[in-house]
Each structure stands twice: as C-alpha cells, then as structure tokens.
C-alpha cells in the first residue's frame, strides 16, 4: 500500500510540475514587467508574474488532495484562516506587481491582516519545546510572536526575489526537507502541503535559473513566505 501511495504521489507531483511549468510559460507572455533600477541584478525588463503560476498550481493541487484524500483533513477553522490570509497576501501582492500600489505600507498592512486572520481562526503559537526543559506555555506572548513570525517570514522570501533562482530555489529546498521531516514525524497534512509547494515552485524554477527569464514577483515570494510561516 505504501508503494502504491508513493507511486500515486509521484505521478500527481509530476502532473503538478507540468501544470506549473505550462502556467509559468504562459506568464512569460503576460506584460507584468520588472523594470531594472539601481538595485536590480538584471539589465533588461523581465516578466514579474511567475508567482501567479505558483499560486494557481498550489491551489489546484491542494484542492484535489483535499477532495480525494483524508491525509489533508485539518480543522476547518485552520484551513479557513490560512485560505483567507493567503488570498489577502496574494491579492495585495498582485496589485503591487501590477504597479497599482506605490508604497510598502500596503504590503505591510496586508501581512498584518493576514497574520491577524490566522490568529482569529486559532493558528497561533501556544508553547515551545525546549531541550532539557520540556514544553513551555507562552500564553499571551504567543499572539505578538505569531504576528512577528508571519511578517518576518513573508518579508524574508519577499526580499529574495529579484536574484536569479534564489527565492524559487529556497522555496523548493525548504519544501523538500520540511516535507521529508514531517512525513517521518507522521504529520501528513504538512507533508502534503510541502509536497504541493515543492512541485509548484519547481515548475517555475526552471525558468528562473540564471539567466532568469521570469521572476516570481511579490505574489509568489510573499505567498511562499506566508505559507511556510503558517
């Protein structure tokens, strides 16, 4: 049964990789461009819409898994909180990539709202396991810590985008090793979550290796950072 499950996951992962590759190829034709400036690593305008392919592939893959597999069952409130936060991040980030937002304030506000949505639906730090000490309940401090964690992770990935292969490569590596670790820990929800992100980001990455033909933009980098944080 495990061999059959692995084969099914492998085939579906390949299918998601193909979907992400095709969507990224389509995004190359979309006129959302990253114009070079004094801080840029590229000299010519490059499409900045690869993150749309990552988000759409992830949504497709996770929706299929949720429909057919019991392994991705989780509290409906948790899923609603993540979905609401992810949509908030993706929409504001896309508007920024399109040039409709002129200041970083809107992105910070979107990140704050997304973090608050996670908290509102019950996704919050409650305790830590500290070696030689054991579990420590952090009480009220879990709320501000959750906000700081989500915003820090989201911006960490956001700052990576713009260097060929950096944000996409980190996303693939983190998803791979985090997915392996959580599989052996028996956390199948997080394993499948990472597995879908891995396939989604890998399809984009083949167009993002030096010299990059496309960037993921804020919609991709912030989505990845927020997803890993959540």
Phi/psi class of residue 132: alpha, beta or left (left: φ > 0; alpha: ψ in -120 to 50)? left
Closest residue by Cα to residue 12 from 73, 57, 76, 78 = 57
CA 194/CA 124 separation, integer angstroms: 20
Report yes or no: 41 and 7 within 8 Å, Cβ to Cβ. Answer: no
Query: DSSP string covering 61-73, please?
Result: HHHHHHHH-GGG-
One digit per residue, the tens of pLDDT, for the chain of length 230 reads 567 777 777 888 899 999 999 999 988 887 666 655 555 555 566 778 888 999 999 999 988 888 877 766 677 788 888 989 999 999 988 888 777 676 678 889 999 999 999 999 989 999 888 888 888 888 889 999 999 999 999 999 888 877 778 888 999 999 999 999 998 888 888 888 898 999 999 999 998 887 878 888 889 999 999 999 99
**Nearest-angstrom CA–CA distance, 154 and 79:** 18
Q: How far apart are CA 151 and CA 146, in angstroms?
A: 9
């Amino acid at each position: 049964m495990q061999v059959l499950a692995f084969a099914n996951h492998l085939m579906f992962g390949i299918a998601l990789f193909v979907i992400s590759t095709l969507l990224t190829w389509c995004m190359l034709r979309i006129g959302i461009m990253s114009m070079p400036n004094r801080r840029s690593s590229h000299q010519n305008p490059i499409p900045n819409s690869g993150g749309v392919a990552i988000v759409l592939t992830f949504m497709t893959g996770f929706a299929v898994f949720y429909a057919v597999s019991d392994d991705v069952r989780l509290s409906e409130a948790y899923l609603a909180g993540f979905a609401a936060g992810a949509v908030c991040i993706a929409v504001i980030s896309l508007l920024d990539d399109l040039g409709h937002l002129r200041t970083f304030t809107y992105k910070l506000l979107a990140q704050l709202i997304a973090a608050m949505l996670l908290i509102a639906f019950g996704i919050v730090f409650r305790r830590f396991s500290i070696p030689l000490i054991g579990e420590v309940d952090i009480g009220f401090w879990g709320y501000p810590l959750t906000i700081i964690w989500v915003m820090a992770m989201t911006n960490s990935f956001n700052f990576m985008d713009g260097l060929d292969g950096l944000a996409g490569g980190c996303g693939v590596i983190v998803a791979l090793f985090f997915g392996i670790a959580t599989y052996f820990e028996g956390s199948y929800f997080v394993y499948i979550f990472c597995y879908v992100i891995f396939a989604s980001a890998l399809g984009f990455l083949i167009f993002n290796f030096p010299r990059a033909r496309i960037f993921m933009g804020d919609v991709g980098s912030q989505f990845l950072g927020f997803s890993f944080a959540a």
